[in-house]
Amino acid sequence: MARRQNRSMDAAEYALMDAVEDRMWWYRAMHGHALRALAHLPEDARILDAGCGTGGFLARLRAAHPQARLFGLEYAQEAAARAASKAGTHVAAGTVNALPFPSAYFDAVVSLDVLCHGGVEEAAALAEFRRVLRPGGLLVLNLPGHEWLRSAHDRRVHNARRYDRTRAATLLAGAGFESPASRHWNSLLLPLMIVQRKLRKSDEGAASDVAPFPPWLDASLYSVCQLEAALLGAGLRFPAGGSLLATATRPSDPASP
């Protein structure tokens, strides 16, 4: 891999994330999709947020599953410390390429917009996710959608790749997971995303899209995401979207490597 394995996001991006992830429409929508994927876990499930950033999802997970045993992992030590404080749980500093947790330990592993990062080795990270999951355990990934959506935002946050449903399914099956499934979201807002990223912010120096929004605009965008979530819950599937939620399970055979 040409990029440094341990490359992390800029400190400024972590600061932005920390400041807005509890209220920004996009984080709230993504966290909602991930929470719904985890809804059927047992109350005392062990759950790992691999690449937890500054802890926004861990905090939401704590509120939704107060009896769960939660763990986080983040490469940047300062972000890991902030996540531990925000979520009130253990957060290790380390890399998803070599998780510092025992094998077959977790009921679920969640990793939100991490596999795409330039410092992540896809094959190593997926092998580690599989290793630390118990047989039958659930993997939940959020991934940025479609290579043709690559923009200055990706460069700013060090995204090395974007995904579609076929690529996600192939990766998960190749890593030894079963029952891979994926769906696009942030689809109703995709035309606005194309205008924002491909037309208005195509220059190399453009900032990422993580930022506080005017309350009226944030509420409007989140309302669209709620409508979209309801449509997805009713069984509708969109052919494209700014993001992709993928799930899969570790095979139930305890003898499987």
pLDDT tens digits for range 175-193: 999 999 999 999 999 999 8
Q: What would the mean pLDDT of 82-89 be, rounded to a whole number? A: 92
pLDDT at 254 over 80: no
Of 19 and 215, the one with more pLDDT: 215
CATH number of the 11-249 domain? 3.40.50.150
Specify the pLDDT at position 204.
Answer: 53
Q: Give me the chain's average pLDDT, please.
A: 89
53-68 residue pLDDT tens? 999 999 999 999 999 9
Q: What would the mean pLDDT of 156-167 be, rounded to a whole number? A: 91
Pick from 69, 137, 78, 151: nearest CA to 104: 137
166: which 2 tokens? 């076929």
Q: Which residues of 242-253 are buried (b: 16+ CB within 10 A; e: fewer)?
A: bbbbbbbbbbee
Specify the pLDDT at position 15.
Answer: 74
Q: How far apart are CA 129 and CA 177, in angstroms?
A: 10
* Sequence-distant (≥ 6) Cβ neighbours of residue 75 within 8 angstroms: 6, 8, 51, 93, 94, 95, 119
Q: How far is CA 171 from the centre of its chain?
A: 16
Q: What would the mean pLDDT of 160-166 be, rounded to a whole number? A: 95
Say what the pTM is: 0.89
Domain ranges for the chain = 11-249
Per DSSP, the residues of 9-58 read --HHHHHHHHHHTTT-HHHHHHHHHHHHHTTTS-TT-EEEEET-TTSHHH
- Least reliable range by pLDDT among 1-10, 22-31, 69-78, 187-196: 1-10
205-241 residue pLDDT tens? 555 566 678 899 999 999 999 999 999 999 999 999 9
Q: What would the mean pLDDT of 12-37 be, rounded to a whole number? A: 85
Percent of the chain with pLDDT over 90: 73
From edge to edge, which strands make up the β-sheet containing 106-112?
90-93, 69-74, 46-50, 106-112, 133-144, 243-249, 178-185
Which helix (H) or strand (E) segment holds residue 170: the answer is: helix 165-174
Specify the pLDDT at position 115.
Answer: 97
Greatest mean pLDDT among 5-9, 77-81, 181-185 lies in 181-185
Q: How far apart are CA 244 and CA 111, in angstroms?
A: 12
Specify the pLDDT at position 125.
Answer: 98
